[in-house]
Amino acid sequence: MLYKRADTPFELYEINVLDANDEDLVKISQELGLALNIEEMKKIKEHFASKGRNPYDIELQSIAQAWSEHCCYKSSKCYLKQLLFDVDAEYVISAIKEDAGVVEFDDEYAYVVAFESHNHPSAIEPYGGAATGIGGILRDILCMGAQPVALIDPLFFGRPDSEDIPKGTKHPLYLLSGVVSGIRDYGNRVGIPTVAGMLFFHDGYLTNCIVNVGCVGIARKDRIIRSKAGGAGDLFILAGGATGRDGIHGVTFASAELEEESEEKSRSAVQLGNPIIKEPLIHACLEVVEKGLLTGMKDLGGGGLSCVIGEMSLAAGCGAEVWLEKVPLKEEGMAPWEIWISESQERMMLTVKPKDVDEVLYIFQKWDVPAVVVGRVTDDRILRIYYHNYKIYEMDIDFVVSAVEYCRPYVIKHAEVVDAVSKPADIEKTLLEMLSHYNVASREWIIRQYDHEVRASTVVKPLQGRINREGHGDAAVIRPANSWKGIAVTADVNPWMTSMDPYWGTASAFDEMVRNLVAVNSVPHSFADCLNFGNPEKQERMGEFVESVKALGWMARGFGLPCVSGNVSFYNETPHMSVPPTPTLMGIGIVENVRDAITADFKRKGSGIVLVGETSKEFGGSLYCAVTGMKSTVVPETSPEKLSEYTKAMLEAFREFKVYSCHDVAEGGLAVAIAEMCVASGMGCSIDVEGEAYITLFSESNTRWIMEVREVEEVVRFFTKKGLKASHIGYTGGKSFDVEGVLSVAVEELDEAWRDGLTRFTGW
């Protein structure tokens, strides 16, 4: 008999792992939804054999949460530690080890950064999945004692014109609409602006969309809270929403491939968000932080109570005693293991000295937020759980939380070199098709749904330019504290490039992240990553991950930009396909004076236009190939040294010369970048290009910017003296985009193509 009902007045089972053979162990894992493999189950069996007893179901469920890919990074931390985590900077206060990165902003304040994925839940229930992603990322910032000030939402879906939809899969436009609505409703209701993000369509996301969410917060440096208990004798206070059956097995669900039946089988794993509770919860938590009443704080995310208490205790070198019957419940009849691992939303765990408990509880009562003492910190490293005076759990915290680690084998596949790119038959038509492509066209329908100005601190907005003509900017700029200093935020990756070459595609994403930060006149300061990949147990998928992390570490190390927070999301795969390698990057820059921030729209007639950077024939993963059908595997290359030299020169040029506008050269190359500057300003320009026109206009070589300047010849000389490439290519003015002897397109025609590119599929 594998399962034996315990002699208790509530549902509790002893699981007979000691007498179980390998087949039985696999059966136990499957039937209890543990998602543990046979080797992990054997490790559990050996542990309990050494204890001379069988585990209860709550103990097995707890181990499964802690050992899930989502919680313990068992397939990724080996390579992350080797390749990425050795990049540091003196201004980083805390990186990687906490729920969010903490970085010095000025003498008084620090900014806090977190970046997460909510992919599987959004594929099953797009509205709720995306909304709870926003709720979770806000808690990651809050648990460091920081006020959230900005949200970021990079989104990835199958092509909007997809027709052949596999069984168990929702149409990309349905998913897009639900995800955007979830982000909109949660962010707007809780009052945090969504200021940046990206939207990318690709065949590889058809059966598994990618929904990444990021957040930036601000905190006084002397009020930063750690995600650990203070020490023995502290009391655990659970604050926020009640605990229910929503979100059970959320982390194990996120640590396996999606199947046709996932929508029916795994819907209960999707949590239910409640922004109306979250808003006062934020206020109450920040008040107890401000009054210095906490010794530690952590949000209840993946794994629920199971992970939060274990992780806070282990980080303090302590143990814990929990009284599970004190946890407020949404519904009757929940088994202890369900209470323990539920991922119900809007919950925070605080540790408090006994003398401060009454004051903390009063503050939460004042904000009408439920809060209750549920346990205490002990001086051993054992976690004990009691339920109505029955001891139902006793485990070594080190065994549960330290988990397992794999350095999985991998293979690296290199694409055959192809460079079959030539001049298009109609260059004007090609430009218009590129502007109207769904990966370039206006995202205004999405951006306008988000309140990106709430809190009145968004200085440079996601839409920039003349009123009613706004176009996309390179980065948003917020003013988080009472000074003129600001924070720039951007999100970047090009899955066309990373699917073709994970190494150079990731290096290109890093390059674009830096370019976007520089374009608004900010100094690149730190970044976070959200690494979305397929099944790590498949060697090709693991190879994609390793190549991507190698490139990221190389670029970060050489450029001197620390990775302060992040997330790895594996198993973004179905029997039909795996997602493209998607190492989404969120970059943070410092703007010394927000009044000096620069936007992408042309400002004045007669200004000089300067192209900074070097252009080569690099079309691998390009928009040009996507539109023309031509083939190239030559993904643009870069180097941290080159990027650093140009970055320093660009920022110096902003100080030395009058620069009216700046835009980085990315998807679609020089032609699309200039067309976007024309569209956002309603102003045309005339340029002259060197070499073969289609290469200069459409190549997507890295480390390039377009500047609109007053002293054009002086600017060119400035870069040339530094041994860097800069060319005076034309002037602003007129009502069309003219390239001498190559093309002439009215700005209104550019505008129409760009604004209608996505709406022709969505109707929105």
**Predicted pLDDT at 256:** 60
Q: What are the extents of the domains in the chain?
A: 83-400, 427-528+586-762
Q: How far apart are the first and last CA of the chain?
A: 58
What pLDDT sits at residue 26?
A: 96
Q: State the chain's mean pLDDT as an integer.
A: 95
CATH 3.90.650.10 fits 427-528+586-762, yes or no: yes
Instruction: Indicate the range of 92-96, 194-198, 554-558 predicted with least confidence.
Output: 92-96
* pLDDT band at residue 761 under the 50/70/90 scheme: confident
Q: Which of the following CATH numbers is that of domain 83-400: 3.40.190.10, 3.40.50.10880, 3.90.650.10, 3.30.870.10?
A: 3.90.650.10
- pLDDT-based confidence at residue 253 (cuts at 50, 70, 90): low
573: helix, strand or coil? strand
pTM assigned to the model = 0.96
| pLDDT above 60 (res 221) | yes
Q: Give pLDDT tens digits for 44-65.
A: 999 999 999 999 999 999 999 9
pLDDT of residue 763: 77
Structure tokens at 240: 């926020």
Give the catalytic positions in this structure.
Answer: 70, 118
pLDDT score recorded for residue 269: 57
> Could you tell me if 479 and 459 are in contact, meaning their C-beta atoms sit under 8 angstroms apart?
yes
Three-class DSSP category at 44: helix
Residues 6+ apart with CB under 8 A from 125: 178, 267, 270
Question: Diameter of the chain by CA atoms?
Answer: 88
Place of tokens 């030539």: 422
pLDDT at 514 exceeding the cut of 90 = yes
Q: How confident is the model at residue 265 (pLDDT cuts 50, 70, 90)?
A: low
d(CA 378, CA 381): 8
Mean pLDDT of 132-152: 97
- Asked if pLDDT for residue 404 goes beyond 90, the answer is no
Instruction: Please determine whether the domains at 83-400 and 427-528+586-762 fall in the same fold group of CATH.
Output: yes
* Mean pLDDT of the 630-652 span: 98
Per residue in 65-92, pLDDT tens? 999 988 889 999 999 999 999 888 899 9
Going by pLDDT thresholds of 50, 70 and 90, the confidence category of residue 266 is very low
Cα 700 from chain centroid (whole Å): 24
**Confidence at residue 491, expressed as pLDDT on a 0 to 100 scale:** 98
- The reported pLDDT for the residue numbered 271 is 76
Rounded distance between C-alpha atoms, residue 474 and residue 598, angstroms: 10
Can you name the residues that pair with 5 across neighbouring β-strands? 13
What is the Cα–Cα distance from 611 to 532, expressed in whole angstroms?
Answer: 34
- What whole-number percentage of the chain has pLDDT above 90? 91
Indicate if the pLDDT at residue 247 is higher than 90.
no
Give the CA distances from residue 9 to residues 4, 12, 54, 324, 390, in Å, rounded to whole numbers and listed in that order: 14, 9, 20, 15, 10
Q: Residue 268: its pLDDT value, please?
A: 59
Instruction: Give the integer Cα–Cα distance in Å for 715 and 725.
Output: 11
